[in-house]
Amino acid sequence: MKRMKELVDLLNKYGYEYYTLDKPSVTDQEYDRLMQELISLEEKYPNNILPDSPSQKIGGHIISEFKKVKHEVGMFSLGNVFNEEEIRAFDERISKVFKNHEYVCELKIDGLAVSLEYEKGLLKTASTRGDGITGEDITHNVKTIKSIPLKLNEPVDITVRGEIYMSKKRLEKLNEERKKQGLELFQNPRNAAAGSIRQLDSSVAAKRRLDAFLYHYPLTKFKTHFESLEYMKKIGFVVNPNIKLCKTINEVIDYINYWTIHREELPYEIDGVVIKINDINMQKELGYTVKVPKWATAYKFPATEVLTKLKDILFTVGRTGQITPNAILEPVKVAGSTISKATLHNEENCIKKDIRKGDYVYIRKAGDVIPEVVKVELSRRESTNEPFEMIKNCPMCTSTLIKEEKMADYFCTNENCPARKIESLIHFASKNAMNIEGLGEKIMEDFYNFGYIHKFSDIYLLHTKKDELKKLEGFGEKSITTLLENVENSKNNSLERLLFALGINGIGSKTAKILCKYYNSIDMLKETTKEELEKIKDIGEVLSENIVSYFKNENNIEEIEKLKFLGVNTSYKGKSVEVNEEFEGKKFVITGTIDNYSRDEIKEFIELKGGFTSDSVSKKTDIVIVGENAGSKKDKAIELNIEIWNEEKIISIMNASK
């Protein structure tokens, strides 16, 4: 239909002007009016919807799973440098090969790497980095990002790479909304962006209002990286405006110093600066190591340290009964977020650093994520500040705390301690466990105090409390319905999620998955013995004892039976281990690329046959699998006289097992 085509072309033109050129030629109201007209026509004539229609950015497409996508060109990670000395050393290595070279410096956006593939100018596929060889198809979500064009200004076949991110302001707004709903807050923009792009329903990603900068054209037809970026801008991509062409390494260092000071002024988070050789032929000649390109590196900003006052020390009780001292601080801004609380880890840490209530302390966000107390500013200590003293009783139930020999932490051993119960319930519903959105910390605490949830099984009886929930502030018909749907959906989780959710001491999400590959139902697991468990790689004596003890407890068995009765799945939905003598108990290392199989697929196959994998070759390695472009690991395997399998052997074994 002619008018639909006119509207699509107009709206895409206006989108390009707004997002790429930053020069809008129409008002938001006019854009919205044209968009509404287009949507009305598309609703009337759904068979005539064009593939580059901007209406797709509204979302609403739901997929059942993320499909695997093999990258046309591998997505390599970058090596890191952390100071001026290492930056100059990087330059010296380049200078040994090339005397006259330029660098392009780019801000390292703190987000999620993405690969975009276009055919004849139309977006075909968007995928995550994955293992660098194979990623996951996230096209349905990427289409909702307004700064990523569905149609380019030229009908070209092109693959580009970039970073999806969330602005600081958008994160702030999103967390305000989540706080009102009692949901877990996102810690930083990177987590928020990654969590949004991993949604099966694209309408969720659309509401999060993500953005993207594109920074790499891997199969460029130009002579320089800088020209490639200019071309990418020309055909419709948003390229970061703060990119700089540097003639010398001194200019690179000046660029880094500038952004170290001014990074907080940006509307998005950065965690460093990327330094790339500009000349494409030089890039090709320098090539790659096994893991990283030799022609580029990333300077990582040092963790920011800020001085503030430690107003109080608060002790909290975890789900296992572990007692943690926490610093309550005078609120202070660190690396883009306001910090008012930081962990002090344990008694030993507090005594070693001589941390006292009333002290002025330096706070750092390790890895720009976790706040911690680094040290005390002793020059500002008051004489009245008393030395740290560990509490003797649980702050919630007053039970005497226990500290086992050679252990750093104190524990409350009262299984009926309210704090332990609340924490275990929060853990059960958390994202990596049963993933029940809507049952965040605040909501779970309220439901516990109101008497609605005291045990895991009570979560699956919430539907019987629907009328009572309606009386609570902030709980309307829609929010209650959504919560109950999320509870119902969690019944279908595979066993490894439930196993992790139950909170068996020492069983993390990774260990839970390992167990499920050997015991594909909870009934099989509860009948196992300590001796059988100890035969499994990564399940040692302590974990074996914890698992057996857990299933000997009658209360635990009763609760599991109740969960089963209420419809919670207790079977493993993945592939179980089929032990093969060629693999059983052997340690494998994979180097190079294998045709038709990603490294993750090979690792999974090895583990399913009873073997295990490592990233480094040592005397304990049994077999090294060597593919194309194998690096130093192959040399080390030969040096240590370790058995080598070529790619033909592993491919034939894997193909035979299909």
Residue positions annotated with a catalytic role: 108
Residue 499 and residue 515 in contact, taking contact as beta carbons nearer than 8 Å: yes
- At position 305, the amino acid (one-letter code) is E
State how beta strands 587-591 and 612-614 pair.
parallel
Residue 588 and residue 611 in contact, taking contact as beta carbons nearer than 8 Å: yes
Phi/psi zone of residue 104: left (φ > 0), alpha (ψ -120 to 50 degrees), beta? beta
Give the residue among 328, 409, 407, 411 at the shortest CA–CA distance from 371.
328
Residue 34 vs residues 10, 29, 54: alpha-carbon distances, Å:
9, 9, 11
Cα maximum dimension of the chain:
81
Q: Where are the beta strands (DSSP E) in 396-485?
A: 401-402, 410-412
Find all residues with CB under 8 Å of 453, minimum gap 6, and list them: 425, 444, 447, 459, 462
CA dist 509 and 427 (Å) reads 12
Backbone angles phi, psi at 243, to 5 degrees: -70, 145
Give the residue among 642, 644, 585, 591 at the shortest CA–CA distance from 619.
642
- The order of strands in the sheet holding 122-128 is 122-128, 112-119, 158-165, 211-216
- At position 646, the amino acid (one-letter code) is N
CA dist 278 and 73 (Å) reads 19
Give the residue among 19, 8, 13 at the shortest CA–CA distance from 56.
8
Backbone angles phi, psi at 288, to 5 degrees: -135, 155
**Chain centroid to CA 304:** 22
User: In this structure, is the dihedral angle defined by the CA atoms of residues 52, 53, 55 and 56, taken in order, positive or negative?
Assistant: negative
